[in-house]
């Protein structure tokens, strides 16, 4: 069952981090088309406002929120702004992510992991924690973590999968950590649903647009988790179905 409310008292609200381009922008576009109220979070104010204006020009109800997931002050201020517009947040999409330097394990030093973990791991924890009160004010709050098949131990050890052919200590490790974090959230906060969406190999800036899927295909699992209500928690899937851990 999907939520597609469009009346003022029942409009579904969503905050999307990293919403100015790629998967975040397409998620905002698709949910906006359903009549949702979209809070488009982006670190870069100019790009974020431009993205929100484009979506707004198409008829979507979109509010830009400046949000740097690596900053406590930024996330706290973002929550204050969202609270000015709504008394609840139905859905949080933790989408912001980076790959890190494209170097092999032998060349990787501890400092290479720090910026990736700041965004991909600590970012979702920071944002989720600050927005938890607004989420709990909703009747069926849900958090969608944007993960990757590269975070699956089963997939990355399967020689038939593309994810097994790119040894990298930053991005896959960060997504494996995010997977475990999400499972622990689901167990520890049962009144909020937490799920993991794998976009698949999608053409975005993250992979220099080498992906074989469109951004619409890449957001299928994200949108499914966001719109399904009621639904399950602690699920890990892509657009085709459940993924192995």
Which residue in 206, 147, 226, 223 sits closest to 239, CA to CA? 223
162 is catalytic: no
d(CA 36, CA 7): 9
Is beta strand 142-146 parallel, antiparallel or unpaired with respect to 91-94?
parallel
d(CA 117, CA 124): 10
Q: Which residue in 175, 185, 187, 236 is the catalytic one?
A: 175
d(CA 11, CA 105): 47
Which residue in 128, 23, 28 sits closest to 78, CA to CA? 128
Rg of the Cα atoms in the chain: 17
Burial of 110 (0-12, 13-18, 19+ CB in 10 A): exposed
Q: Which residue in 25, 171, 185, 236 is the catalytic one?
A: 171
| Cα distances (Å, whole numbers) of residue 59 to 1, 36, 64, 183, 215 | 24, 11, 15, 36, 20
Outline where 123-242 has alpha helix (H): 123-136, 153-156, 171-188, 215-218, 220-227
Backbone angles phi, psi at 76, to 5 degrees: -60, -45
21 is catalytic: no
Active site residues: 171, 175
């Amino acid at each position: 069952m999907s939520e597609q409310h469009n009346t003022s008292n029942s409009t579904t609200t969503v905050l999307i981090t990293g919403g100015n381009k790629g998967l975040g922008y397409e998620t905002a576009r698709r949910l906006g088309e359903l009549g949702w109220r979209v809070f488009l979070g982006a670190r870069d104010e100019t790009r974020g406002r431009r993205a929100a204006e484009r979506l707004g020009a198409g008829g979507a109800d979109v509010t830009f929120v400046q949000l740097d997931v690596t900053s406590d002050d930024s996330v706290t201020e973002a929550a204050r702004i969202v609270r000015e517009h709504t008394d609840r947040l139905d859905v949080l999409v933790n989408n912001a992510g980076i790959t890190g330097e494209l170097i092999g394990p032998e060349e990787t030093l501890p400092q290479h992991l720090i910026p990736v973990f700041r965004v991909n791991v600590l970012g979702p924890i920071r944002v989720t924690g600050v927005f938890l009160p607004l989420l709990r004010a909703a009747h069926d709050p849900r958090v969608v973590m944007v993960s990757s098949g590269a975070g699956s131990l089963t997939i990355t050890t399967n020689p038939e999968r593309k994810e097994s052919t790119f040894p990298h200590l930053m991005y896959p490790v960060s997504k494996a950590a995010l997977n475990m974090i999400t499972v622990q959230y689901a167990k520890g906060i049962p009144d909020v649903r937490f799920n993991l969406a794998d976009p698949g190999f999608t053409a975005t800036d993250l992979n220099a647009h080498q992906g074989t899927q469109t951004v619409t295909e890449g957001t299928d699992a994200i949108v499914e988790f966001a719109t399904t209500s009621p639904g399950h928690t602690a699920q890990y899937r892509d657009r085709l179905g459940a993924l192995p851990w």
